[in-house]
Each structure stands twice: as structure tokens, then as C-alpha cells.
Amino acid sequence: MTAYISEIDTLGGIGNEFVEIAAPVGTDVSSFALYIYDEFGAVLSGPYALGPLQATIGNQDVYVLDNASAGLPGIRGEDAVALVDDTGTLVQFISFEGRVVTATNGPAAGQSSTDIGTSTPTGSLQSDDGGLSYYAQPNPNSGTVPCYAPGTLIDTPSGQRAVQDLRPGDSVITADNGVQQIQWVRCKDQLLTGQTEDRLPVLIKAGTLGANLPMQDLIVSPQHRILVGTAGQLTQIFDQAALVPAKALTGLAGIRHITGRSRITWIHFACDRHEIVRANGCLAESLLLGPMVIQAMTTSERGAVDALFGPAAQKGAALNGPVARQCLTAKAAKRQIRKRLAGGAPAARNGRKGSYKATPAAHPAAGAPLSARYFARQSRISCASCSSVSM
């Protein structure tokens, strides 16, 4: 089939349920539509357009419909879902939990649905073989592996581009290797309700890392690594260039976990190598395909990255390693912050217990050529903690 329903959650409640659709790269799905049928075979709601492209994985474009993006209502276990192409032809008609629905009207009229099984109460049903079969996915992963939030601006040869607009084959400017192509892009919605603070997104306010660094607020996942100790980024706290998890910096003023959100969309991209790029003007990492990241992927995603990057150089190594800089664990980074602040580093308390603001360090003007704004390349130091941390 030209497109298929690659994952569906019918048990998560109206705010969490979704339908994920995959199509061959470049397929025009602007006139494709989704319909919801009731147990009696009548159209319950629809049509719903597939909306904007969410991600490109391997040779497939991925679209996600949910209540927030498409107004999709809650999908009951007794309902059925129909996918229709641009000619009005029925592409797929599926139902769940052992039920079969025979449509009496709409694009599926006269057709009986295919029962694709039953998911767990908090899971979804997923297909890795083009919709031929489905299995229960205990951890729904619509549109997986977090990194940057939508709206983050990445430096590219053609200027800054929003991260959600980047595609495989697009180029980004890196600190170490000049212009590099993106090889893999992924988008994921993450539920935040019930998460511990340590797993919540991190907000880095404009100017927190140094003068105009970042140039505007930056939101990253808690494990996403930020470059410090160089290029004007927290150089008064860290003596050497290192990559540290964003959550390790939340003791500094202007850097905190975000609370009050029910969900967030994450976008990440991987290059041939682990790279350092500019995100909202500050230096941070591209995706490192380490063991924990790979383990979090579906079977089809693992196949896609294996085909793109080949096997790891050795057991436990990242597919696109080694790491671009020395990596500090969150514990080591926090210890360094406490040590430096206690030792009289140029940092000032902002009036809140345990919260400090580092004095911005001087750095080259933002308008200077990118190559002039980076320090000389640091030696790459392989560290097990980096290759085993999920994004």
C-alpha cells in the first residue's frame, strides 16, 4: 500500500490517543484523509487531513494525528479507522480488540475492517511491516528519542532554520567539521504527566550561558548535552571544554525544569559523526547514536539507522561516535559547579536558595564568521557515560 497506519493508540484517553501514518518519502498526502467509524458501521467523524510532516525515518515520511493537532476525538475500542488516499480509494480499514466492523456508508461502505489486535491499557498497536501485522507496543512513541523542542533555530549554510523543518540531506554548520549533512531525523511526542522532575524538559533562558548565549530561550531534553568551558559558555565555572547534560545546570539561575505541561514534542537529528552545532546561538550536540538510544528504538528504526550508519566500531560504542568532546555525567558537572561557586568563582546568587547566575564571559561578536566563534578543536575523548545515555 502507498501509505499505512503505522501506530495507533486507542486507550490513552482523548488527550493522548493518536494515529501515526507512514508513507514512502515524497508521497503527496495532502488529499489523504482519516475517518472514524462506530461499531455499527456508520461514519462517526471525519475526514481528518494528515497535516504537516512530522518526521522522515529511513524511506518513510511520518504523520501524526491527535486531538491537539487535528481535533481527533477519542477512539473507542469498538470503533474502526479508515485511511483514504487522494482518489477517495480505501487504503486501510482497521478495528481492534477482536471486533470486525462492516461499513454502511462513507469511503469504506461495504467493506469489513481488519482486526489488528489489542494493546495494553497504556500502550499502542504498532506495525513495522507496512501494515501487514501489528503488535502491542507498551511504550507509545508517536512520530522516539528526544532532543530539541520545535522552534529551536539551528545554524545552516543558508542561515538559521527551525529544527522541525530540517530533513535528511539538509546541511548544518558544525564546530569541528564544517558543513555536514543530516542523515537521520526523528520527531516524538512525550507525555509529561506523572514524570519525575529529573525527566522534565529543561529551559535555558536567553543569556544564561554567557553574553547572548543562547540568543533566545532554548528548550532541550534533560539529557541533552550542552557545551561548556569554551566559546563563552560558562567558562567561569568550567575550566575545560566538556559536554554536560542540561539537567546538571538547573542549579544556575535562568536554567530550570519546565513544569505544568502535559506533553511536548521532541526533534532530533543525527549526522555521520557526533557533532557540535549552534542551537539558538549556543553550542550543543547533535544526536549521538549510543546503545541506550538504539535500545529505545523500534525494530524498523534500528534497521534504518543500521543501514545508514553501519555497525558500531566495537561493542558498546555509538554508531556515529566517537563523542565530539569530553562528556561529564550530571553528578560530575554538579560537583564542579558546587566546587567552583564555593571557591569564589565570579557568580552571583539571585536571591533564591541554591540558585546562581554566572557572570557572562566575553566572546566574539555573534555576527562574526562561525569558524572564528569556535575555539580550536578539542581532542575527542571517548567516554562510556556518553555512549550509554539516552537523549
Decide if pLDDT at 68 tops 60: yes
Q: What are phi and psi for residue 160, nearest 5 degrees?
A: -75, 135
d(CA 87, CA 90): 9
Q: Please report, rounded to a whole number, the percentage of residues in the chain having pLDDT higher than 90.
A: 49
Q: For residue 132, what are the contacts with CB-CB under 8 A and spacing of at least 6?
A: none
pLDDT score for 371: 30
d(CA 170, CA 112): 43
On whether the CB atoms of residues 182 and 197 are closer than 8 A, the answer is: no
Q: What is the rounded average pLDDT of the residues 7-12?
A: 78
pLDDT score for 377: 26
Helix (H, G, I), strand (E, B) or coil at 204: strand
Q: Please report, rounded to a whole number, the percentage of residues in the chain having pLDDT higher than 70.
A: 80
Please say whether the dihedral angle defined by the alpha carbons of residues 282, 183, 179 and 177, taken in this order, is positive or negative. Answer: positive
Listed in sequence order, the DSSP H helices in the chain are 67-70, 291-295, 299-309, 330-342, 370-373, 384-387
d(CA 6, CA 3): 9
pLDDT score for 140: 54
Task: Give the confidence band of 150 by pLDDT, cuts at 50, 70, 90.
Answer: confident
Which residue has better confidence, 18 or 175? 175
Q: For residue 182, what are the contacts with CB-CB under 8 A and spacing of at least 6?
A: 166, 167, 168, 169, 170, 171, 172, 269, 270, 271
Total-model pTM = 0.55
Q: Which long-range contacts (CB under 8 A, 24 or more apart) does 46-49 make?
A: 46/82, 46/106, 47/84, 48/72
Decide if pLDDT at 64 tops 90: no
Bridge-based pairing state of the strands 114-115 and 90-95: parallel
Task: Give the confidence band of 190 by pLDDT, cuts at 50, 70, 90.
Answer: confident
Which residue has better confidence, 375 or 92? 92
For residue 232, the one-letter residue type is G
Q: What's the pLDDT tens digit per position in 248-284?
A: 999 899 999 998 888 888 898 999 999 999 999 999 9
Task: Give the confidence band of 103 by pLDDT, cuts at 50, 70, 90.
Answer: very high
